[in-house]
Structure 1
Amino acid sequence: MATLLLLRHGRTTANADGGLAGRQPVELDDTGRAQAVAVGARLAGLPLAEVVSSPLIRCRQTLDLALPDLPPAVEDGLIECGYGEWEGQPLKKLAKDPLWPVVQLHPSAVVFPGGEAMAAMAGRAVGAVRRWDADVTEKHGAEALWLACTHGDIIKAIVADAMGLHLDHFQRIVADPASVTVIRYTPTRPFLIRLNDTGGDLAGLVPPKRRRRPRKSAATSSDAVVGGGAGTT
């Protein structure tokens, strides 16, 4: 199966002000624009077969700066969680809401007032990336790389699914602005290759040239490398 790079959008005005943007059309701030340019330099040279984006402007701005020559396909399944009445509120205020500890400790039970259930958010996001991954694999082959630009809670939910974690554990995962998280799906289980990477060299994600008779390896099979293996070079 193909390899997915999950890119969180750069920092926004809402992030900087301590607010919950939700689906509001908030834009990148100066720091966020600089982050997008920097992650673009890290992504340069990667043979991305497809680029996909949440429909929200902060993701599209991030990709415009990071990958200006690769116009993205818009995927509604990657839109931010529908926070309903929480949207646009300061996080300090929301932390006093009786729903806050449930969001932290039992998110699978949360339905935001006037908004979306967190379980529904996770289901549609995971479904979207798995559909895209299967499509990219069919069109471009099992060694293809593709990228999806989306939001923090979306990335955390996708990672939790890849790790076989219950959604109630997803708050233990961190996805910083402009971070890259890498998942490789296989026929039987996914592998988490990188998590919340904000500065590492991404060149090691490019698959090596195939030999005439490629041997089976953890990069192309569902088997984990016992002992951890040699990593990428």
Structure 2
Amino acid sequence: MATLLLIRHGRTTANAGGLLAGRTPGVELDEIGRRQVRATGERLAGVRLAGIVTSPLERCVQTAQAILAQQPVDGADGLELGLEFDDRLLECDYGDWQGNALKTLSADPLWATVQAQPSAVVFPGGESMAGMQARAVAAVREHDAAVEAAHGHEAVWAAVSHGDIIKAVLADALGMHLDLFQRISVGPASVSVVRYGPKRPDVVAMNTEAGPLDWLTASSPGPEEVVGGGDIARPQTAARP
């Protein structure tokens, strides 16, 4: 099966300022974020990616470009790698919440529901969190199937998106209810790894922030073939505490 890398954008000016950026245009990586995504590109330099699909927002495009810059210009298959944009990987539409300070939003009664029962949340003037999850999961599964069909079961590809989007996709892959997705941490420029097998997904790693990822190119059995806890040696990568 193909291997999906879920990559969050690096730190932004809005992150640093405690703002909920949402889909606000012009939100870019700050200096720390630029360093973070260069490091992520270095981690992936030994992995020949079959594709990079990204949210069209600036911070994700900058992240994807930093990864692309450290990929081989031309692979053994003779194909040049480029970026593909998918609006389904856009940040959640937070509606009236967009652009506000997190400190202010935390006093809104809806904040408690966002934390404890996100499946019931519809942002005023925006979308539901359940709808956000549905579109994102549909996007990554569709792209994953296309990558595997075009490049084979050992292909590795990346989806560059936002924190809540990646947490929602991981929750689905883990078989978790959306109401539990706030238990998942996804740091800036982190890499999570999922393989969609014919019977169930295999969540290989979550929220990794350090260490080379060239081990991803090695063949591994599908999740339905692993018994007794599995015996595949996977390098330990640093995860956000």
The answer to whether TM tops 0.5 is: yes
Which of 210, 217, 233 is residue 199 of structure 1 equivalent to? 210
Q: Distance in 1 between matches of 2:63 and 2:165?
A: 16
Q: Distance in 1 between matches of 2:55 and 2:18?
A: 22
Measure how far apart 1:71 and its partner are.
Answer: 2.5
Match of 2:170 in 1: 159
The yes-or-no answer on 1:72 pairing with 2:83 is: yes
Q: Distance in 2 between matches of 1:87 and 1:166?
A: 25
Equivalent residues of 2:202, 2:223 under 8 A apart: no
Equivalent residues of 2:193, 2:204 under 8 A apart: yes
Equivalent residues of 1:53, 1:73 under 8 A apart: yes
The yes-or-no answer on 1:60 pairing with 2:61 is: yes
Measure how far apart 1:203 and its partner are.
Answer: 1.5
Deviations 1:166-201 (A, max 9, x none): 000000000000000000110010011110000122
Matched AA of 1:150: S
Q: Distance in 2 between matches of 1:136 and 1:230?
A: 24
Measure how far apart 1:124 and its partner are.
Answer: 0.1
Match of 2:77 in 1: none
Q: Which 4+ residue blocks in structure 1 deviate beyond 2 angstroms?
A: 68-71, 218-225
Within 5 Å, give how 1:183-198 maps onto structure 2: 183-198=194-209
Matched AA of 1:132: H
Match of 1:49 in 2: 50
The yes-or-no answer on 1:130 pairing with 2:141 is: yes
5+ residue gaps, structure 1, are: 209-217
Measure how far apart 1:64 and its partner are.
Answer: 1.6
Matched AA of 1:123: A
Measure how far apart 1:121 and its partner are.
Answer: 0.1
Match of 1:40 in 2: 41
Aligned residues: 224
Q: Distance in 1 between matches of 2:226 and 2:126?
A: 39
Match of 2:153 in 1: 142
Q: Distance in 1 between matches of 2:97 and 2:226?
A: 41
Measure how far apart 1:220 and its partner are.
Answer: 3.3
Q: Distance in 2 between matches of 1:220 and 1:101?
A: 39
Which of 221, 228, 231 is residue 230 of structure 2 equivalent to? 228
Equivalent residues of 1:9, 1:177 under 8 A apart: yes
Q: Distance in 2 between matches of 1:198 and 1:91?
A: 24
Deviations 1:14-49 (A, max 9, x none): 000111000012000000011111111111020111
Deviations 1:63-109 (A, max 9, x none): 22222254310011100000000000000000000000000000000
Match of 1:7 in 2: 7
Q: Percent identity?
A: 56
Matched AA of 2:128: A
Measure how far apart 1:232 and its partner are.
Answer: 3.1
The yes-or-no answer on 1:22 pairing with 2:22 is: yes
Q: Distance in 2 between matches of 1:42 and 1:144?
A: 17
TM-score normalized by structure 2?
A: 0.90
Measure how far apart 1:221 and its partner are.
Answer: 5.3
Q: Distance in 2 between matches of 1:127 and 1:45?
A: 28
Match of 1:219 in 2: 221
Secondary structure of the residue aligned to 1:99 is: helix
Measure how far apart 1:219 and its partner are.
Answer: 2.3
Equivalent residues of 2:97, 2:123 under 8 A apart: yes
Report the aligned-residue RMSD: 1.3
Q: Distance in 2 between matches of 1:223 and 1:141?
A: 19
5+ residue gaps, structure 2, are: 74-80, 236-241
Q: Distance in 2 between matches of 1:66 and 1:230?
A: 27
Equivalent residues of 1:205, 1:232 under 8 A apart: no
Match of 1:214 in 2: none
